[in-house]
Structure 1
Amino acid sequence: MKVVEVASGHGPIPEEVIENVLARHDIVDTVSKVVHLSKQGKYLWGLCPFHSEKSPSFTVTPDRGVFHCFGCGMGGNAIKFRMEIEGLSFPEAVRIMAEESDIPVPEGRGGALAAPDPERDRLIQAYDLSAKYYHYLLKNTEYGTAAMEYLRNRGFSDKMIDQFQIGYAPDRWDTLLQFLEKRGFDLAEMEKGGLLSARGEGKGYLDRFRGRVIFPIANRMGKTIAFAGRIFGEGQPKYLNSPESRLFNKSRILYNLHQSKASIRKTRQIVLFEGYGDVISAWDAGVHNGVATMGTSLTEGHVALMKSLGDEIVLSYDGDKAGQAAALKAIPILEASGLRVKVALLPSGLDPDEFITRHGGDRFREQVIDSAVSSIKFKLIYLKKNHILLEEDGKIAYVKEALEIIAGLPSSTEREVYLREIASELELSYDSLKQDCNLLRASMQKNNPEGDNNDNRWNNGRHKKGQVQTPTLLPAYHVAERRLLSLMIQDPEAATYVGERLGEEFNIDDHAAIAAYLYAYYAQGKPPGISRFLSSLQDDRLEKTATAISMMDTPPDWSTQVLDDCIREVRKYPLQRKIEPKREEMIQAEKSGDFLRAAQIASEILALERQ
């Protein structure tokens, strides 16, 4: 049994597992959980989730099992899509997808090695050791005494502190620095990974976190990849997060996902909080499907990650104006992705952590989480607070704005429920409200542009500035190399023919590398197929290039004449490159009056042209 060895602390993954994962995770099903797809010809099209665009250039090819964006160049199979959307390494993505499909992942040894990533492994090891060190300092040294008292005053028990591995960074500049240096870690690498800060050019390093309670941030596999430090005395900022690194992208990471994913998968529901303390207190109260966005705004990356895990989101934000405004902002982003949204209502001024401390976990679960209202109900409640309903002007203004919310609902049943509720509450005619609602709805549908290129599409803002690349005319040798590789991907016999006559003598390095991988791939007796072949590459650049090549409209049938013509074009290019400087050299010789040298060069050029 062939095995792909991975150097990420997760052990080897048998190739049979990778093939089963690709077989069980259909590319269309995988992508459509994140991107709205429409069929046009043999492709499914949508707006790219990896760069901002208004006209769809993102495609899925079901029969080949790949996705490709003609705008930004991103492409690959279902595993690659999950890796990019959720910020996972290859083995992490494979294991998660295997778990979702009940595919066992046995441990073993041997087989071809995947490309190692020692820097990433060292960073993960450093974060793991640092988290344990900070936790030890909090619980077992005098440095952590004040921080421990602060946590206990906030209601954190020793069990909670241990469960979430909360720690403390002493108010000294070299505590972690010395710890890492003694263990042989490269300090420049640790600074790049966000554990240390540079003191200045050539002046060494110092601890990034000082005098703060430390909350480790883990990826969904449970590996610590960043820290959040909270100050518990005077000072700013209140929270300090690790900077973004090759491990940590705050737009794609949810706090506590590694512990909550089992409950989320079981209930298909996610409770979304704003901060670490809320998640930890809620966990202790029995809410084990809670995650947080770590003080940052909800992003498309967060939504994509949640959509891959659940169907319903309960927003449990703070009960103050800022929390309610944040909930209102999050609702359309979540709903546009197809997620159901409910909002947990808290008394004004209280956050979930404070509510649990005052009223206990049982009341929080029953009166807040289990009693969460629909997003429309929340919007109407929020809207009502801005109007004085005892006055006629306030009542009219409220009804006008409420109808704008209700008229947008696609379900006539939902519209009727809310209209009857308003009619009863304000003692108004239901028929009059319904008539006004229908008129408003007709007006909205008339003004709504057709198509799915709305600027507010949920998957249309991964980057603020995205440029769609304009196609350029490729030179003949480049086109010939791509055509050869396209045929080789489709047919091992074509690969054998090209290998015997051209080998790896491609002019473009990436093309030569893909050809070498193809020769090795078929030498192992594997069947043709771009999706499976991509998993053998495990190189971002090569995967994108190979995917783009596989999208070429190359007829699957080929002849030796077609291959020979392409091979001849590929071999011609190096000779052409030799001719160009010789022409320049000949011209210079003629200008200087060295006609004998010019004649010699002309003879060399003629010989090259004959070749």
Structure 2
Amino acid sequence: MSTGRGTIPEEIIESVLRQHDIVDTVSKHVHLTKQGKYLKGLCPFHSEKTPSFTVTPERQIFHCYGCGMGGNAIKFRMEIEGLSFPEAVRIMAEDANIPFKDAAGTDHTPRNPELDALLQAHEWSAKLYHFLLKNTEHGKPAMEYLKARGFTDKAIDQFQIGYAPARWDTLVQFLDKRSFDLGAMERGGLLASRQDGSGYVDRFRDRIIFPIHNRTGKVIAFAGRILGEGQPKYLNSPESKLFIKSRTLYNLHQAKSSIRKTGQIVLFEGYGDVISASEAGVHNGVATMGTALTESHAAILRNLADEVIVCYDGDNAGQAAALKSIPILEAAGFQVKISVLSEGLDPDEFIQKYGAERFIRQIIEGSVSSTKFRLINLKKNHIMLGAGEDAKVPFIKEAMEVIAPIESPTEREIYLKELSADLKVSFESLKQECNQFRTDLQKKQQDGDNNPKRWNNGRHKKGQAQAPVLLPAYHAAERRLLSFMLQDEEVAAYVNQHLGDSFNIEDYAAVAAYLYAYYAQGKSPDASRFISSLHDDRLEKTVSSIAMMETPQEWTVQELDDCIREIRKYPIRQEIEQKKEQMISAERAGDFMGAAQIASEIIALERQMNEK
């Protein structure tokens, strides 16, 4: 995730960190239990049964020993809510009523008054619609419709479903009595202008209302389904300063926690599907609300998980939309699976017809790989049954375009065997065809790594805990030295003088360089504050891991020198090993003079190492 700081001044970042205690911030999402000077809980960023997520109040940081995620309170908000660094800081500053001073030095309040009024109006409108559905005669037909569709009271409350009466001015009067600027409400999508320009009318009338929330859970728009006959059947709020369709996903605010734990997103087309699926036990579902999936949608979701199950309608339009979503999601780095719904049903209809258990088993757990889905769709486009051998050839050619580019030989073989059995064509002939296609493909490609998604092979999933390993001496020494440096400016000055940037591990050398610069600006030791000065996600995790080490507050020059000596020895050890290999090669080649010369170089290096 990018951690670009934008134009937010450093003093604002520091104020935010002072006002937002790490324990208070994390406790809203994680149940923490005190263990000594630490607090522990189940990591919200990956699925685990034994707590490895650790918070240290003393240093105002968190770190998960399972998935490696770590940082300060700002970083936690970024990751848990899918926010950029500037978004997280601004939201946290607003929460703490911290005024901003922009890059030009101009003071301004952190909140935009018109946007604030719109947010408040949307929140109150959602409560009004929900009240009208549940407590008035106007809402009874809508409630009966929802109950007939299988919506429970729990779901109606959880998703704050409401009803807009078949009147022109219910919301107009409601907002006007509360002194909202009706012109601003029209610009924000809540109201519509009368055709003659004489005033305003309710945008939603005689519709079941589904509030749409942003990532932080604030209502920013509405979706309305007409109760009786009429067009349009579905109506969304127009785009506004609050609501941009290409960047908004229905239910993301509620689904985030489940998405983090499962490492998986279920992507639906509409809000009804999300709600029905949630009732069926699928809590990691979001929807694009009828609009096409965009790269912005994919980027927002990519911050939360590695895998997406696309669960669109089973009709031709839905399956075509699912097919179009694959390249967008794969380009974002997702592992993509597709649900195949039978009989042209949509997810909501499938659940009503066959029940929750079968939906989870057959549609969610039974989803197929994007390759398999492409092949299924190809087959639909070719008449296979009862056709002659010649009719199979075009299908095989198109199938090879899907199978041949796959990097894994095992995966290619699985699809080829399925194709062989399906078409009753020799596996060997299909394999030969596939190999020829790959050869032709490689000839067309330029030299170099032609697969931009080669890394996305399933071995780089978030949440996979690494087995503990015993670190080499130099590695442990570098971590220990950095741990002392994080706690004490004097240590950093000593290390800078006697070691500088000569750390063997590249990330540790970078952390050291940032620490030297940090202290040079006159700042005091503070792990949380230092993390916010970094501009690299990996380095933030590295520092949070090192800051969690049980390093004593007291140190001696002897201890620092021992660490520095071990660090300086490592490159010499490496050179000695290389020389030994060269000496063995020389001896095998009969070059005994050369071997003797290399042996003397090894002795000199060993002497040099012992003098360190």
Q: Does TM, scored on the shorter chain, surpass 0.5?
A: yes
**In the alignment, which residue of structure 2 is the partner of 1:264?**
259
Check whether the contact 2:78–2:84 (CA below 8 A) recurs between aligned residues: no
Question: What SS class does the counterpart of residue 271 from structure 1 fall into?
Answer: strand
Mapped partners of 2:144, 2:85: distance in 1? 37
Q: Does 1:14 align with 2:9?
A: no
Q: What corresponds to 2:423 in structure 1?
A: 426
TM-aligned CA deviation for residue 201 of structure 1: 7.0
Report SS of the residue matched to 1:216. strand
- Give the match for residue 365 of structure 2: 370
- 2-side partners of 1:214 and 1:107: how far apart? 29
1:408 and 2:408 matched? no
1:166 pairs with 2:161: yes
Task: Find 2:139's aligned residue among 130, 135, 144.
Answer: 144
**Contact kept in structure 1, 2:94 and 2:110, CA below 8 Å:** no
- Equivalent position of 1:397 in the other structure: 394
Of residues 343, 349, 357 in structure 1, which corresponds to 2:352? Answer: 357
Q: CA, structure 1 residues 310+81, in 2 after alignment: closer, same or farther (shift >3 Å)? A: closer
Secondary structure at the aligned position of 2:300 is classed as helix
1:251 and 2:246 correspond: yes
Matched with 2:222 is 227
User: Following the alignment from structure 1 to structure 2, what is the Cα–Cα distance between the partners of residues 166 and 78?
Assistant: 33
C-alpha distance after superposition, 1:179-236 (max 9, x if no partner): 0000111111111111111224752111111111100000121111100011122111
Structure 2 residue corresponding to 1:343, chosen from 333, 338, 341: 338
SS at match of 1:228: strand
Q: Secondary structure at the match of 2:418?
A: helix
SS across alignment from 2:341: coil
Any gaps of 5 or more consecutive residues in structure 1? 7-11, 21-76, 96-104, 457-521, 535-611
Contact 1:5/1:110 (8 A) holds in 2: no
Q: 2:437 aligns with which of 437, 440, 448?
A: 440
Q: Return closer, same or farther for 1:338/1:378 CA change in 2, 3 Å cut-off.
A: same
Change in 2 beyond 3 A, CA 1:107/1:254: closer
Q: Deviations over 1:552-602 (max 9, x none)?
A: xxxxxxxxxxxxxxxxxxxxxxxxxxxxxxxxxxxxxxxxxxxxxxxxxxx
Does the aligned pair in 2 maintain the 1:13–1:106 contact within 8 Å? no
Give secondary structure in 1 for the equivalent of 2:337.
strand
Cα 1:79/1:189, change in 2 over 3 Å? farther
1:525 Cα deviation (Å)?
9.6
Size of the aligned set, in residue pairs, is 398
Q: Choose from 109, 113, 118 the match for 2:113.
A: 118
| Among 179, 186, 211, the residue aligned to 1:184 | 179
Shift in Å at residue 133 of structure 1?
A: 0.1
* Counterpart residue type for residue 360 of structure 2: R
Aligned counterparts, 1:163-562, within 5 A: 163-200=158-195, 202-389=197-384, 390-391=386-387, 392-448=389-445
Query: Residues 398, 218 of structure 1: CA spacing in aligned structure 2 closer, same or farther, 3 A cutoff?
Result: same
TM-score, structure 1 as length reference = 0.59
The answer to whether the 8 Å contact 1:79/1:94 transfers is no
- Counterparts of 1:154 and 1:304 in 2: how far apart (Å)? 33
CA-CA distance at 1:13 after TM superposition? 3.4
In structure 2, do the counterparts of structure 1 residues 223 and 294 end up closer, same or farther at CA, with 3 Å as the change threshold? same
AA aligned opposite 2:419: I
Shift of 1:248: 0.9
Mapped to 2, the partners of 1:94 and 1:18 lie a distance apart of 15
Contact 2:307 2:334 in 1 (8 A): yes
Distance 1:178 1:325, change over 3 A: same
Counterparts of 2:143 and 2:94, CA distance in 1: 42
* Distance in 2, Cα, partners of 1:417 & 1:219: 42
Shift of 1:110: 7.3
2:4 aligned residue? none
CA 1:219–1:106 in structure 2 vs 1: closer, same or farther (change >3 Å)? closer
Cα distance change of structure 1 residues 384 and 288 upon mapping to structure 2, 3 Å threshold: same
In structure 2, the residue corresponding to 1:155 is in which secondary structure? coil
CA distance in 1, matches of 2:530, 2:175: 46
Give 5+ residue unaligned stretches, structure 2: 1-9, 24-73, 102-108, 454-520, 536-612
Task: Work out the CA distance in 2 between the residues paired with 1:233 and 1:217.
Answer: 22
Between the aligned partners of 1:373 and 1:227, the Cα distance in structure 2 is 33
Displacement after TM superposition at 1:424 (Å)? 2.5
Contact map agreement 1:408 1:441 (CA 8 A) in 2: yes
The CA deviation at 1:386 is 2.1
Instruction: Measure the CA separation in 2 of the matches of 1:406 and 1:524.
Output: 57
| CA offset digits 1:17-55 (Å, max 9, x no partner) | 6999xxxxxxxxxxxxxxxxxxxxxxxxxxxxxxxxxxx
Structure 1 residues 414, 526: CA separation in 2 closer, same or farther (over 3 Å shift)? same
Provide the C-alpha distance between the structure 2 equivalents of 1:135 and 1:356, rounded to a whole number of angstroms.
25
Residue 81 of structure 2 contacts residue 216 of structure 2 at CA under 8 Å; is this kept in 1? no
SS of 1:206's equivalent? Answer: strand
CA positional deviation for 1:272: 0.4
Provide the rounded CA distance (Å) in 1 between the counterparts of 2:81 and 2:281.
32
8 Å Cα contact 2:265/2:308 also seen in 1: yes
Q: For residue 451 of structure 1, report the CA deviation from its aligned partner.
A: 9.2
Residue 410 of structure 1 and its aligned partner are, at CA, apart by: 2.1
- 1:437 and 1:195 mapped to 2: Cα distance? 57
Contact 1:275 1:295 in 2 (8 A): yes
Report the CA distance shift for 1:223/1:403 in structure 2 as closer, same or farther (over 3 A).
same
After superposition, the Cα gap between the structure-2 partners of 1:136 and 1:81, relative to the gap in structure 1 and judged at 3 Å, is closer
C-alpha displacement of 1:87? 8.5
Letter in structure 2 aligned against 1:239: Y
Query: 1:136, 1:145 → 2: CA distance?
Result: 11
Deviates more, 1:429-438 or 1:270-279: 429-438
Task: Specify the SS of the correspondent of 2:293.
Answer: coil
Q: What aligned pairs does 1:99-114 form with structure 2 within 5 A after superposition?
A: none
Distance apart, 1:419 and its partner CA: 1.0
CA contact (8 A) 1:3 1:14 kept: no
Quote the Cα distance in structure 1 between the aligned partners of 2:13 and 2:301.
29
Contact 1:254 1:291 in 2 (8 A): yes
Compared CA separation, residues 339 and 455, structure 1 to 2 (3 A)? closer
Looking at structure 1, the residues matched to 215 and 81 of structure 2 have their Cα atoms a distance apart, in angstroms, of 14
Per the alignment, do residues 207 and 350 of structure 1 end up closer, same or farther by CA in structure 2, a change over 3 Å counting? same
Sequence identity percentage? 57
What displacement does 1:340 show? 0.3
Q: Give the TM-score normalised by the residue count of structure 2.
A: 0.59
Distance of aligned partners of 1:111 and 1:126 in 2 relative to their CA distance in 1, 3 Å threshold: closer
What is the letter of the counterpart of residue 380 of structure 2?
Answer: K
Cα distance in 2 between the residues matched to 1:366 and 1:533 = 45
Label 1:523 to 1:257 Cα distance change in 2 as closer, same or farther (>3 A): same
Contact 2:264 2:284 in 1 (8 A): yes
Tell me how far 1:109 sits from its aligned partner: 7.4
Describe the superposition over 1:267-323 as per-residue Cα deviations: whole angstroms up to 9, x where unpaired. Answer: 110000111110000000000000000100000110001100000000111111111
